[in-house]
């Protein structure tokens, strides 16, 4: 008897539909994040804008493919049970979209952490950044290799069992990269506490953002990896796989859009006379009685709030050559 006869529609078509539907909900959430980002007019440097457009392109393309995938099952091949045991390019191309979305975002977040740690002894910033980038690159290699191999050499879902090990290695490096980013981000922010109300409020909210972003991505990655191990020939892993890239996009946009919320929160609690600046840190200058202020230009948003916690950083430190102004 063919393998198609023993395939359960509930464990294949049912879980696939739930995965695509949940992805559709997430693309709606991400769309609202896009609207918030562009309406806020942060005037970010072009590399960051390019990253946003890159993730937008991948999200739209991957979501469109998921809808075509559902159309194929429910319309074009409706009632054809044999198609449940056949591999399809729509799903097999998924790792491409996941790693090409996740890795640039992970490297961007690691770069932000590096900027907060600049000047620390033993080249801690460079070591941590290099380690994170290495993990992310390994993740890309395994993800692209797996997706390409599926597209070229797999005809049946029964062949998915050959790629369980590769999938586990890929997802393990993804988990490791996310864990390093979250732990180092929280640790760095806690280390930057000053005792000043505004600064500690800012740090607390940035830690919340880091946790809010990390938990969904981690849970879905673990769910995907577990489903691949337990039942690689069914569609249970598709319940998680279709949404992973969208969760990474949400991580990026939530971090970027949180600047607007932090800006408004700090603006409401400060009495700065400059309507275009928010004082987020005051510290007694050694040897003088003055209090130097580090400000965020909320009109241009040249700096990220997270980067500004380090009082020694300037615009040129963060984005490269610009008119130098050190505090």
Percentage of the chain surpassing pLDDT 70? 76
pLDDT for res 7: 63
pLDDT for res 289: 39
d(CA 133, CA 106): 8
45-61 pLDDT per residue, tens: 999 999 999 999 999 99
253-281 pLDDT per residue, tens: 999 998 877 776 655 444 333 333 333 23
- Residues of the chain below pLDDT 70: 1-7, 10, 119-122, 264-327
Q: Residue 296 pairs with which residues in a beta bridge?
A: 278
pLDDT for res 120: 66
Q: What does the block give as tokens for 16?
A: 């696939």
pTM: 0.78
Straight-line distance from the first to the last Cα atom of the chain, in angstroms, rounded to the nearest whole number = 76
Short-list 232, 262, 105, 86, CA closest to 178:
105
Q: What does the block give as tokens for 160?
A: 């998915």
pLDDT for res 305: 44
Short-list 285, 174, 169, 227, CA closest to 15:
227
CB 88 within 8 A of CB 76: no
Backbone phi, psi, residue 43, to 5° = 60, 50
DSSP structural state of residue 157: G
pLDDT for res 116: 83
pLDDT for res 42: 87
Short-list 245, 250, 105, 247, CA closest to 177:
105
- How many secondary structure helices (H) and strands (E) does the chain include? 9, 2
d(CA 265, CA 205): 10
Contacts of 27 (CB under 8 A, 6+ apart): 59, 60, 63, 246
d(CA 84, CA 91): 12
**CA–CA distance from 232 to each of 157, 159, 220, 308 (Å)?**
8, 9, 16, 46
What angle is formed at CA 34 by the lines to CA 28 and CA 39, rounded to 5 degrees? 130
């Amino acid at each position: 008897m063919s393998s198609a006869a023993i395939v359960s529609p509930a464990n294949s078509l049912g879980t696939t539909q739930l995965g695509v539907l949940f992805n559709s909900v997430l693309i709606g959430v991400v769309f609202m994040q896009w609207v918030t980002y562009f309406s806020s007019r942060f005037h970010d440097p072009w590399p960051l804008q390019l990253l946003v457009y890159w993730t937008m392109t991948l999200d739209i393309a991957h979501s469109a493919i998921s809808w075509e995938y559902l159309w194929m099952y429910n319309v074009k091949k409706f009632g054809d049970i044999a198609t449940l045991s056949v591999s399809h390019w729509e799903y097999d191309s998924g790792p491409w979209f996941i790693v090409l979305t996740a890795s640039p975002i992970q490297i961007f977040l690691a770069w932000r952490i590096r900027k907060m740690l600049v000047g620390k002894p033993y080249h801690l910033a460079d070591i941590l950044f290099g380690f994170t980038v290495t993990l992310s690159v390994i993740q890309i290699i395994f993800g692209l290799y797996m997706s390409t191999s599926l597209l070229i050499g797999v005809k049946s879902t029964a062949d998915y069992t050959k790629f369980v090990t590769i999938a586990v290695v890929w997802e393990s490096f993804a988990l490791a990269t996310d864990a390093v980013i979250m732990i180092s981000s929280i640790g760095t922010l806690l280390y930057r506490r000053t005792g000043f109300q505004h600064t500690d409020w800012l740090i607390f909210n940035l830690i919340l953002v880091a946790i809010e972003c990390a938990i969904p991505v981690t849970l879905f990655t673990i769910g995907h990896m577990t489903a691949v191990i337990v039942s690689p020939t069914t569609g249970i892993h598709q319940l998680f796989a279709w949404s992973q890239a969208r969760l990474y996009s949400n991580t990026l946009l939530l971090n970027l859009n949180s600047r607007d919320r932090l800006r408004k929160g700090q603006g409401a609690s400060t009495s700065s006379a400059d309507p275009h600046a928010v004082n987020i840190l005051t510290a007694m200058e050694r040897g003088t009685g003055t209090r130097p202020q580090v400000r965020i230009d909320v009109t241009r948003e040249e700096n990220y709030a997270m980067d500004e916690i380090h009082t020694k950083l300037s615009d040129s430190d963060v984005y490269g050559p610009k008119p130098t102004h050190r505090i």
